[in-house]
Structure 1
Amino acid sequence: MQFLRRSLVGVFLLAVTLSLFAWAGNTVRLAVQERLNAEPRSFPQRERILSVNVVTVTPRMIEPELTAFGELNSTNTFALRALTGGTVLEVSPNFVDGGRVEMGELLVRIDPRDAQSDRDRLVADLRDAEAEVRDADRALILERDELAAAQAQANLRTQALTRQQDLADRGVGTAAAIETVELALSAANQAVLSRRQSEASAQARLDQAATQLDRARLNLADANRALADTEITAPFGGTMSDVNIAQGLRVTANEQLGELIDKDNLEVSFRLSTAQYARLTGDDGGLMSAPVTVELEAQGLTLTASGQITRESASVGEGQTGRLLFARLDDASGLRAGDFVTIRVTEPALRGVALVPATAIAADDTALVLDAENRLSEVAVELLRRQGNDVIIRAPELDGRLIVAERSPLLGAGIAVQPIDPDAAAVVPEPPEMLTLDPERRARLVAYVEGSRMPPPVKSRIIGQLEQDEVPADVVNDLEARMGT
C-alpha cells in the first residue's frame, strides 16, 4: 500500500510539472504572436545637422613667401699657396684653423737664403751691365770724334785737289801733282768709311749693352719678387681654414697651405623651380632684387639674417632643374660658410586675395560656403599660393562670407551645418542665481535628498550645496519640482 501511494504522488507531481511547462510555453507563444502582429513603432525623423569650423574670407593685400633650402658661402675666399719652395722658418700664431688674421699680417716665412743669393748675383750682373753701357757710350763718342777728324782730313784733300786742278788749268801745275793729290783724297775717303763702320759698331755695342742692362733689371725684379714670395701675408682680414703647415716643414712651389675666408661677407645659394623663378621676374624678364630671410635652427635657437637676391646662374646645371639663385646677406652674425639654411623669399604683393586654411580647399579647387540658412554650397576658387598650412586664394564672390575651414567626406552641397567660429570671442557664462533658505525649507530639502534613491556621491554633493548660506536657485527648483511642492 505504501509503495502504491508513493507511486501515485510521483505521477501527480509529474503531471503538475508538465502542466506548468505547457502553460509557460503557451504564454510565450501568445506574447510572440502579439509582438509580431503589433504595428511597427514610428519615430519622428529629424535632419542631421553637423557642427563645422568656419572662417571668414577677407580679401586684402598679401606678400607671399617662397620657402627653399640653400647653403651659405663666403663671397671672399682666398687659397694661400707657397709661391716658392723651401723650408718654413716662421709661422704666425694665428695661422691655425679658426685663427683670425688681419690684412697684411705675416703668416708664413720660408727660408730666403737661396732667393737672397740669387738676388745678390743679379745685383752684381746689373752693375756689370751698367758699366758696359757707360763704356759703350764713351766708345761711341770717341768713334764719332775720329769720324769727324777723318771727314775733316778728306775735306782738306778735296780742297788740295781743287787747287791743283786750278793750277793745271793756268798751265802751272803738273799731272803728277794732280794724281798725287787724288790718291791722297782717295785714302782720306777710305779712312772716313772705316770710321763710319767703327761708329756703327760702337752704336751696336751701346744698343747691346742697353739690352743687357734691361735684361739685368728684369732679372733683378724677378729675384726681388722671388725673395718677397718667401713671406706670405694676408691679403684681407678673415678666418683661417684647412691649415696644413707647421714650422720646419719643407714646402714646394704652389703647394696649398690653407684657406682664408671672410666670414663677414656671406651669400646663400638656393634652387627654385621654374614656376617659382617666373614669379620673381619683372615685366622685362629680368630677375628682381627680392628680399630674403635666412634661418638656421639649432636646439630651439634660431639664427636669422636678411639680404636680397643679387644674381642667377647662367646655366641650369647637368642633371638639375629649375634655377640657381644667389642672395647677398647684409648681417650674418653667428652664421658660417657651409651652413645649410632655410630661405624665405618675399614675392611681389598680391591684391584682393585671402588667406585661408589649406584644409578648406578641395583637390578640385572648390570651397564649401554657407548661405543664409547655414546650408553648404560649392564655389570654385583660384588657388594662387601655398603658405605652409594655409593657401592664398582669389574669389571675389566670397568676400565677407563664411566657408568651411576643414573639409571632410561627410560634408557636401545642400547639407545643413552648425557653424563654429574658432576666432570668435569666448562667451562667459552668467553666474547662477543664488537663494538664501530658511531653516524649515532647508531641513525639508535635506530630508528629501536623504530619503531619495540618488547615488551616495550625488546625495553628498547636493547636501553640501544645501548646507551653504546661499544655494543655487536651479538646484532648489529641481528638488522642489520632484517633491511636488
Structure 2
Amino acid sequence: MDARVNDEPPFAADREADPDRPAPRRPSVLSRIGRGLRLLVMVILPIALIVGALAGFGWMRATKPTVPVERQGEVARPIAAIVADPGPVQPTLTVYGRIVSGRSVDIRALVSGPIVSVSDALVDGGRVAAGDPLVTIDPFAYEGALVRANADLAEAQARIAELEARTRQETDAIERARDQLVIAERDLDRISTLRDSGSASARALDDVELRVSQARAALETRENQLAIYEAQRAALDASLDRLLFAVSQAERNLADTVLRAPFDALVSDVGAEVGKVVSLNDRIATLVATERLEARFLLSDAQYARLAPDGGLVGRPVTVIWSAGESEIRRAATITRVASAAQDASFAVYASFDEAADAEVLRPGAFVEARLADRVYENALTLPVTALYDGGVFTVDGESRLARVPVEILAWGEDEAVVRAPEIAAGTTILASRLTAAGAGQLVEIRTPAADAEVGR
C-alpha cells in the first residue's frame, strides 16, 4: 500500500484525549515508603534466620557435655594350632581315572553273506561266555564249496590209486624184462662160444643178438614208463596238497559262518541284525573282557618324576575307590605298566586288580579314585592347607604372638601339604586356622589345645 503524507496512522483517533475521562492518580509518598519496607523485610529476614541458626548450632556445639573415651586393650584372636614334629613323611597321592578293559576286540565277519540268526545276548551291555554263538551267516554257499572241494579231493585220490596200480604193474614188468634180458645174454654167450668153435652158424648168432637187443629195448621202455608214472605221481601229490588245503579252507569258511565269543565279555557297539548282508571284515560288535578290568589314571610330569626314580612305578600297590552316592567300593590293585609316551604333560598308568573285579558292578568307563604312596620326605611336616599363607606359616611364640616363617612346599595332598622348614623345631606351635589379614606380631589365643591338636607329621 502506498503511503500518503496526509494519512493519519491507524487508531490515531483512539489516542486523542477524552475530555470527559478523569486523569490517572499519582502514588502517594506513604505508599512508596511501605512498598520499600516490604522489599527490605523480604531480603533481610531470610539472612537473619540463617545467621541465627548458625549461631545457635555453634553455641549448642560449644556447650555440649563431653564423655570421656576409655581406650580398650589389645584383643587376642582365637585360633586353632598344631604342634610341629618334623620327621620322615610319606604322603598319600590321590589321582583320578577310569576303569578300562585290559582286552577288547572288534568281532568282524570272517565270511560274507546274509545273517540268518543273532544271539539274544548280542545287545549293548549283554554278557556272553567263551564259545557262545553270536551270529550265524547263511552257510548254503559254503556247504556247496565244501562238497566241491571234497569231490575234487576224492577224484585226485582215485587218480593216485590208479597210478599206484599202474606203477606196481610196470615195476613187475620191469623185473620180468630184466629176467628176459639175462636169459638172452646167457644165450648170446653160449652161441658166441659155439660160433668160435664152429658149432653154430652166423645166423643163429644174429638171432640171439636180436633177442638181446629186443630185451634191452623192452626193459628201457618199461623203465621210461615207470619214470613217467613217478612224475605223474609227483604232480598228483602236489595237486593233492592243494586240494587238501581247499577242503580245509572250505571247512573253515563253513565254520566261520558261526561267529563265537572268544572269551567271557560284555557286548557293546552292536551292528548285526537278522537279514543284514555283511561283507568280509564288517564289524559285528565289540567285546570287552570281563576278567581283565584295569584302572587307568594319569600322573602329572611332576608326580611321575617323583615316583619313577624312587623304585619305579611297576609293582606299586594302589587302592582303587569307586563312589556312587553313599556306596563305596574299594579294590586293591597293582601297577602293571606305564604308557610308552607322555601325552598332554601326563603319563597314563595302568593297575590290575589283585582279585578279579565283578563286571556287574565295576564296568569300563566308571570314574574312580586311585590312592598310592608318594615318595618319602625326610625332615618334613604335614600341614593342613589352611596353615599356609603365601609360601609360609605363622608360629606362635611364648608371648602368644604370631611370627612368620618361610617354608618349602614339597608336595600337595587333597587337603594338606608336605613342607620343609629348617627353622621350625620339634614342639613349635603352628597356626592351623585361616585368619583374615594375619600378620606377624598379632596377639592370638589358642582355642584348640596343642595337646589335642593334630600333630604336624
Pick the TM interval, shorter chain.
0.7 to 0.9
Maintained 8 Å contact 1:304/1:332: no
Moved more, 236-245 or 124-133: 236-245
Maintained 8 Å contact 1:316/1:322: yes
* Alpha carbons of structure 1 residues 352 and 118: separation in structure 2 relative to 1, 3 Å: same
Matched residue, 1:327:
351
Q: 1:331: how far off?
A: 5.1
**Matched residue type, 2:123:** V
Matched residue, 2:150:
123
Structure 1: 4+ residue segments shifted above 6 A = 28-31, 41-45, 422-426
Maintained 8 Å contact 1:290/1:347: no
Q: 1:70: how far off?
A: 2.0
Task: Answer yes or no: is 1:269 the counterpart of 2:296.
Answer: yes
Q: 1:64: how far off?
A: 1.9
Rounded Cα–Cα distance in structure 2 between residues aligned with 1:67 and 1:34: 69
Task: Answer yes or no: is 1:314 the counterpart of 2:340.
Answer: yes
Matched residue, 2:132:
105
User: Which of these residues, 182, 191, 215, is aligned with residue 155 of structure 1?
Assistant: 182
Maintained 8 Å contact 1:143/1:198: yes
User: Which of these residues, 332, 338, 342, is aligned with residue 365 of structure 2?
Assistant: 338
Aligned pairs (5 A) from 1:206-221: 206-221=233-248
Matched residue, 1:446:
none
Task: Answer yes or no: is 1:86 the counterpart of 2:113.
Answer: yes
Q: 1:384: how far off?
A: 2.1
Matched residue, 1:462:
none
* Alpha carbons of structure 1 residues 202 and 335: separation in structure 2 relative to 1, 3 Å: same
Deviations 1:35-63 (A, max 9, x none): 9xx9xx99779556443332212346654
* Alpha carbons of structure 1 residues 151 and 348: separation in structure 2 relative to 1, 3 Å: same
Rounded Cα–Cα distance in structure 1 between residues aligned with 2:90 and 2:314: 15
Q: 1:305: how far off?
A: 3.4
Rounded Cα–Cα distance in structure 1 between residues aligned with 2:232 and 2:71: 131
Deviations 1:152-172 (A, max 9, x none): 222222222222332233343
**Matched residue type, 2:193:** D
Rounded Cα–Cα distance in structure 2 between residues aligned with 1:274 and 1:223: 55
Rounded Cα–Cα distance in structure 2 between residues aligned with 1:44 and 1:228: 100
- SS of aligned partner of 2:164: helix
Deviations 1:106-134 (A, max 9, x none): 22222211111111122222221221111
- SS of aligned partner of 1:398: coil
Rounded Cα–Cα distance in structure 2 between residues aligned with 1:44 and 1:316: 65
Matched residue, 1:359:
386
Maintained 8 Å contact 1:306/1:331: no
User: Which of these residues, 398, 401, 408, is aligned with residue 375 of structure 1?
Assistant: 401
User: Which of these residues, 158, 167, 179, is aligned with residue 140 of structure 1?
Assistant: 167
Maintained 8 Å contact 2:83/2:450: no
- SS of aligned partner of 2:370: strand
Percent of aligned pairs with the same amino acid: 32
Maintained 8 Å contact 1:107/1:233: yes
Task: Answer yes or no: is 1:393 the counterpart of 2:391.
Answer: no
Question: What runs of 5+ residues in structure 1 fail to find an aligned partner?
Answer: 1-20, 427-485
Scaled by the length of structure 2, what TM-score is found? 0.76
Moved more, 65-74 or 296-305: 296-305
Question: What runs of 5+ residues in structure 2 fail to find an aligned partner?
Answer: 1-50
* Alpha carbons of structure 1 residues 355 and 425: separation in structure 2 relative to 1, 3 Å: closer
Moved more, 145-154 or 158-167: 158-167
Q: 1:291: how far off?
A: 2.4
**Matched residue type, 2:170:** E
Task: Answer yes or no: is 1:292 the counterpart of 2:318.
Answer: yes
Maintained 8 Å contact 1:291/1:345: yes
Rounded Cα–Cα distance in structure 1 between residues aligned with 2:170 and 2:430: 111
Aligned pairs (5 A) from 1:408-419: 408=435, 410-419=437-446
**Matched residue type, 2:368:** V
Q: 1:343: how far off?
A: 2.8
Rounded Cα–Cα distance in structure 2 between residues aligned with 1:162 and 1:254: 79
Maintained 8 Å contact 2:134/2:258: yes
Maintained 8 Å contact 2:314/2:337: no
Q: Which structure has more RCO (C-alpha within 8 Å, separation ≥ 6)?
A: 2
**Matched residue type, 2:265:** G
Task: Answer yes or no: is 1:249 the counterpart of 2:276.
Answer: yes
Deviations 1:377-403 (A, max 9, x none): 333434222112211224464322211
Q: 1:312: how far off?
A: 0.8
Q: 1:311: how far off?
A: 0.2
Maintained 8 Å contact 1:65/1:344: yes
Moved more, 50-59 or 119-128: 50-59
CA RMSD of aligned residues (A): 3.5
Rounded Cα–Cα distance in structure 2 between residues aligned with 1:138 and 1:31: 147
* Alpha carbons of structure 1 residues 52 and 210: separation in structure 2 relative to 1, 3 Å: same
Query: Which structure has more helix as a fraction of its residues?
Result: 1
Q: 1:414: how far off?
A: 4.1
* Alpha carbons of structure 1 residues 34 and 338: separation in structure 2 relative to 1, 3 Å: closer
Moved more, 216-225 or 229-238: 229-238
Q: 1:225: how far off?
A: 1.0
Task: Answer yes or no: is 1:69 the counterpart of 2:93.
Answer: no
**Matched residue type, 1:391:** A
Deviations 1:441-476 (A, max 9, x none): xxxxxxxxxxxxxxxxxxxxxxxxxxxxxxxxxxxx
- SS of aligned partner of 2:314: coil
Rounded Cα–Cα distance in structure 2 between residues aligned with 1:102 and 1:44: 85
Rounded Cα–Cα distance in structure 2 between residues aligned with 1:418 and 1:91: 76
**Matched residue type, 2:296:** S
Maintained 8 Å contact 1:270/1:325: yes
Instruction: Name the count of aligned residue pairs.
Output: 398
User: Which of these residues, 190, 195, 204, is aligned with residue 231 of structure 2?
Assistant: 204
- SS of aligned partner of 1:200: helix
Q: 1:179: how far off?
A: 3.9
- SS of aligned partner of 2:371: strand
